[in-house]
Amino acid sequence: MKILANCLWKLKPALPEETGQNFPYPPLISRLLYNRGITTIEAADLFLSPDKRLNHDPFLFPDMEMAVSRIYKALLAGEKIVVYGDFDADGLTATAVLTTGIARLGGNVTPYIPHRITEGYGLKISALEKHRAEGVSLVISTDCGITAIPEIKRANKIGLDVIVTDHHTPLDELPPAYAIINPKMPCSTYPCKELAGVGVAYKLIQALYRNLGREDEAKDLLDLVAIGTVADIVPILDENRYLVKEGVKLLNAEPRPGLIEMAQLSRLHLGEIEPESISWIMAPRLNAAGRLEHAMAGYKLLTATTISDSQELALWLENKNTERQQLTVRFVEKARAMLDTQFPPALLIFSDAECPQGISGLVAGRLSDEYYRPSIVIKTNADSATGSCRSIPDFNIIQALNHFAHLFSHFGGHAQAAGFTLPIENLDAFVQGISAYAEEILSGMELKPFIDIDIDTDLSLLCPATLRELERLAPFGEANPKPVFLSRGLNITDYRSMGSNNEHLKLRIKHKGRFWDGVAFRQAKELSSFLQSPVDIVYNLELDKWCGTDTLRLKIIDMAPSGTKI
């Protein structure tokens, strides 16, 4: 959560008159489309109606024909196939899509999910050799593999074919795989470059089923695709809008047994699932398994076929998620105690031998959000140190790590998130070096978080029909957030804290003789000093369906004394 007292508010530019005249939509929708970079009627139509026109031909992937032919050959010969996945929600759902899709065609297929701590991310030679010794002849990687050059070279030597399905950016050198399915390949003309790992896996199954004249049968895997796509925080644009829209429909209409049990334990209302439900409820529980123990429990829950098979798994994941939450809070508080929170440095570094490696990224993310600084959380061992990095738009963390590549055993990531492992004897040099680098890069910058506001509006103009109009922009998510409103001069007539730790606020808001409810999650402490009227409030709109009635509610993002921000 950001330090709201220091948060800047940025109002997006007004809709140009010419663009507004060209759009055949209500002014509110036209403004929000423009805010999302959509300026033509054709683009707006596809955005507002993400239908099968966005379901691109899977055979546009350069190696798709080869991959489908190789899998079909394995099916006919009864070859042993392993799907080699990853331990996060994207990797788990991708593994479930591939194993389920291949097994339905009679394939002899098993999943393999590496252990986060003992094995780490990606293909490992020891695991590939073990599979080959067990008679496996085809490995299909998912959400990993695009940089596994030595591993796939070894696989080739021992007679193991590898099909790589991945969505991460390739290196200059490509692995010598049997086939590579990746929208980011230099030679790829596939229209949607931002598929998640599960999206790429689905396109392979779609292609396989299409060749067999059974493409419609693959569509009942779209619920898994929606979960992994939202969980991996890829842009909900282009084909991802179609995949998430159709997948969420399926989640609500025909939930899997494992998700029914998860929903019951987490108080998630089936039939009302939306992408936000995936982000805040489903994904953390699926991820909790791999963060603290082995991720296979998450895979088993996704593929369970009966309620009885799901109950114990769902309870175990619920307990692991609670443990994960408690550990995250504990180590965030420990980090705060060690940091200069009044005058934080340009780069926050927290090193601890006890911090579980599986939550170090969560702790780094919390610190980065709270202090608006790039953050590194390091788990130290006797002979090595492993770090998780999270950053802000002003600081490219993978570019920073590149300057110290000589100190690492291995590292990787992207501009906003990365990780590394290094020998313990290199730790001091790294900490000193990257701290100085960050001070130099960020020197003179005003490091303050900001909120992009879509529309400055009079609260009295909004009603439940407004929210129904906004639903035309769904599904919401990365690159298409829920619209953010600003309303000014509001009066707080009543408020109370709520939640087990009194960290949430419930407000009663009055404006022009009408009343609205507002809720601020995890912000009671930060907002308590701003509750004197009048105030300006930044918020999303949502429906409170309590007792069967639809009431408009403000989900508060920030507030300030009236006239003090913008």
Has residue 4 got a pLDDT over 70? no
Which of 21-30, 408-417, 477-486 shows the lowest mean pLDDT across its residues? 408-417
Contact 385, 424 (CB under 8 A): yes
Measured CA to CA, the distance from residue 307 to residue 461 in angstroms comes to 46
The pLDDT score that the predictor gives to residue 1 is 39
> How many CB atoms are closer than 10 A to CB 359?
25
Dihedral sign of CA atoms 96, 247, 479, 561 in order? negative
Measured CA to CA, the distance from residue 466 to residue 552 in angstroms comes to 9
Phi, psi of 265 (to 5 degrees): -75, -30
Percent of the chain with pLDDT strictly greater than 70: 98
> How many CB atoms are closer than 10 A to CB 164?
29
pLDDT, tens only, 333-342: 999 999 876 7
Mean pLDDT of the chain: 94
Measured CA to CA, the distance from residue 502 to residue 70 in angstroms comes to 57
Measured CA to CA, the distance from residue 384 to residue 470 in angstroms comes to 50
Q: What integer is the mean pLDDT of 123-149?
A: 97
Q: What integer is the mean pLDDT of 393-418?
A: 92
Q: CA torsion angle for 286, 271, 539, 447 (degrees, to 10)?
A: 20
Measured CA to CA, the distance from residue 342 to residue 31 in angstroms comes to 39
The pLDDT score that the predictor gives to residue 340 is 77
User: Which residues, in sequence order, are CB contacts of 58 under 8 Å at separation 6+?
Assistant: 64, 203, 204, 206, 207, 210
The pLDDT score that the predictor gives to residue 546 is 65
The pLDDT score that the predictor gives to residue 384 is 96
Measured CA to CA, the distance from residue 126 to residue 4 in angstroms comes to 48
Kindly state the DSSP code that residue 377 receives in the 8-state scheme.
Answer: E
Alpha carbon 268 to chain centroid distance?
Answer: 19
Measured CA to CA, the distance from residue 195 to residue 90 in angstroms comes to 11
Q: Using 50, 70 and 90 to split pLDDT, how confident is the model at 547?
A: low
Domains of the chain: 4-49+451-561 (2.40.50.460), 58-244 (3.90.1640.30), 255-326 (no CATH), 339-442 (3.10.310.30)
pLDDT, tens only, 297-355: 999 999 999 999 999 999 999 999 999 999 999 999 999 999 876 788 999 999 999 99
Q: Using 50, 70 and 90 to split pLDDT, how confident is the model at 2?
A: very low
Query: 213 — alpha (psi -120 to 50), left (phi > 0) or beta?
Result: left
| Element (DSSP H or E) covering residue 388 | strand 384-390
| Structure tokens belonging to residue 166 | 């991945």
pLDDT, tens only, 482-525: 999 999 999 999 888 887 777 888 999 999 999 999 998 877 77
pLDDT, tens only, 442-455: 998 988 889 999 99
User: Which residues, in sequence order, are CB contacts of 536 under 8 Å at separation 6+?
Assistant: 486, 487, 488, 489, 490, 559, 560, 561, 562, 563, 564, 565
Has residue 20 got a pLDDT over 90? no
For residue 317, the number of C-alpha atoms closer than 13 Å in the C-beta half-sphere is 32
Has residue 219 got a pLDDT over 60? yes
pTM: 0.93
Has residue 550 got a pLDDT over 90? no
Has residue 78 got a pLDDT over 70? yes
pLDDT, tens only, 46-62: 999 999 999 999 999 99
Q: Using 50, 70 and 90 to split pLDDT, how confident is the model at 171?
A: confident
Nearest alpha-carbon partner for 505 in 488, 517, 489: 517
Q: What is each CA distance from 402 to 82, 121, 386, 405, in whole angstroms?
A: 34, 19, 16, 5
The pLDDT score that the predictor gives to residue 423 is 98
The pLDDT score that the predictor gives to residue 22 is 87
Phi, psi of 329 (to 5 degrees): -60, -45
Q: What is each CA distance from 35 to 20, 28, 199, in whole angstroms?
A: 12, 11, 26
The pLDDT score that the predictor gives to residue 543 is 84
